[in-house]
Structure 1
Amino acid sequence: MSLDAEAITDRRRLRRKLVFWRVAAFLILAAALVSGLVALGGGFNAERNSPHIARLPVEGVILEDRDQLKLIREMGEDKNVAGVIISINSPGGSTTGGEALYQALRELSAKKPVVSEIRTVGASAGYMVALAGDHIVARYNSITGSIGVLFQFGNAEKLMDMVGVKMDAVKSAPMKAEPDFYSSPSEETRDMLALLVGDSYDWFVKLVTERRKLTPEEARAVADGSIVTGFRAQERKLVDAIGGEDAAIAWLEKEKGVAKDLPVVTWKVPEEQSGLPFSARISQGIGEGAAKALIEGVSEAKGLISPSLTLDGLVSVWHAPGGVPGGQEQGSGE
Structure 2
Amino acid sequence: MSFDTDAWLERRKLARRLNWWRLVAVLALLAVGLGALWWIDPGNVIARRQDHVARLEIAGLIAENPWWAEKLQEAAEDDHVKALIVYVNSPGGSTYGGEQLYTGIRRVAETKPVVAVIGTMGASAGYMTAIAADRVFARETSLTGSIGVLFQTAEFSELLGKLGVSAESIASGPLKDQPSPIKPLSPEGREQLRRMVMETYDWFVGLVAERRQLPPEQVRVLADGRVYSGRAALNHGLIDELGSIAEARRWLAESKAISDDLPLQDIPSEPPIDGWRGMAGQAFSALFGKSLFPERLRLDGLVSLWHPE
Return the offset for 1:177. 2.6
- Alignment partners' CA distance in 1, 2:250 and 2:209: 26
Contact kept in structure 1, 2:148 and 2:304, CA below 8 Å: yes
| Stretch moving more, 230-239 or 62-71 | 62-71
The answer to whether residue 301 in structure 2 is matched with residue 313 in structure 1 is yes
SS in 2 for 1:178: coil
| Equivalent residue number for residue 3 of structure 2 | none
User: Within 2, Cα distance between the matches of 1:109 and 1:14?
Assistant: 60
SS at match of 1:133: coil
Q: 1:292 aligns with which of 252, 268, 289?
A: 289
Instruction: Go from structure 1 to structure 2 and tell me whether the alpha carbon gap of 1:169 and 1:104 turns closer, same or farther (over 3 Å shift).
Output: same
Name 2:99's counterpart in structure 1.
99
Give yes or no for contact 1:86–1:114 (8 Å, CA) kept in 2.
Answer: yes
Match of 2:141 in 1: 141
The 3-state SS of whatever aligns with 1:58 is strand
Give the Å deviation of 1:18: 8.7
Alignment of 1:168 with 2:168, yes or no, is yes
Give the whole-Å Cα distance in 1 for the aligned partners of 2:210 and 2:185.
Answer: 36
Question: Structure 2 counterpart of 1:295, which letter?
Answer: L
Q: CA deviation at 1:65?
A: 1.4
Distance 1:18 1:161, change over 3 A: farther
Question: Alpha-carbon deviation of 1:96?
Answer: 0.7
Letter in 1 for 2:32: A
Alpha-carbon distance change, 167 to 14 in structure 1, aligned in 2, over 3 angstroms: farther
Post-superposition CA distance 1:34-82 (Å, at most 9, x none) = 536865x785344323222211111111112112111111112222222
List per-residue Cα deviations over 1:170-220 (Å, max 9, x = no partner). 111111131011221011110110011011101000001111111111010
Q: Which runs of 5+ in 1 are unaligned?
A: 1-7, 297-304, 320-329
Aligned residue pair count: 305
Equivalent positions of 1:276-287 (< 5 A) are 278=276, 280-287=277-284
Percent of paired sites with the same residue: 38
User: Per-residue CA shift, 1:107-143, capped at 9, x if unaligned?
Assistant: 1101001111111000000000011011111100000
Which deviates further from its counterpart, 66-75 or 19-28?
19-28
- The question of whether the paired residues in 2 share the 8 Å contact of 1:308 and 1:315 is answered with no
- Matches of 2:250 and 2:283 in 1, distance apart? 43
**Aligned residues of 1:308 and 1:317 also touching (Cα < 8 A):** no
Give, in whole Å, the separation in 2 of the partners of 1:206 and 1:61.
23
Contact persistence 1:43–1:270 (CA under 8 A): no
Q: Measure the CA separation in 2 of the matches of 1:240 and 1:69.
A: 25
Residue 324 of structure 1 corresponds to: none
- Partner amino acid, structure 1, of 2:244: G
How far apart are 1:160 and its partner, in Å?
1.5
1:208 matches 2:196: no
Q: Which residue does 2:153 correspond to in 1?
A: 153
The 1-side partners of 2:229 and 2:243 are apart by: 12
Match of 1:35 in 2: 36
**Normalized against structure 2, the TM-score is what?**
0.87
1: CA distance, partners of 2:237 / 2:64: 28
Matched-pair contact (CA < 8 Å) for 2:57–2:269: no
Partner Cα separation in structure 1 for residue 92 and residue 156 of structure 2? 27
Question: In 2, distance between residues paired with 1:80 and 1:224?
Answer: 41
Report which stretch shifted further, 145-154 or 156-165: 156-165
User: Relative to structure 2, which stretch is displaced further, 102-111 or 26-35?
Assistant: 26-35
Q: How far apart are the structure 2 equivalents of 1:159 and 1:17?
A: 80
* RMSD, aligned α-carbons: 3.1
Q: Which residue pairs with 1:83 in the alignment? A: 83
Tell me, in whole angstroms, the C-alpha distance in 2 between the residues paired with 1:58 and 1:221.
Answer: 27
How far apart, CA to CA, are the structure 1 residues paired with 2:72 and 2:231? 30
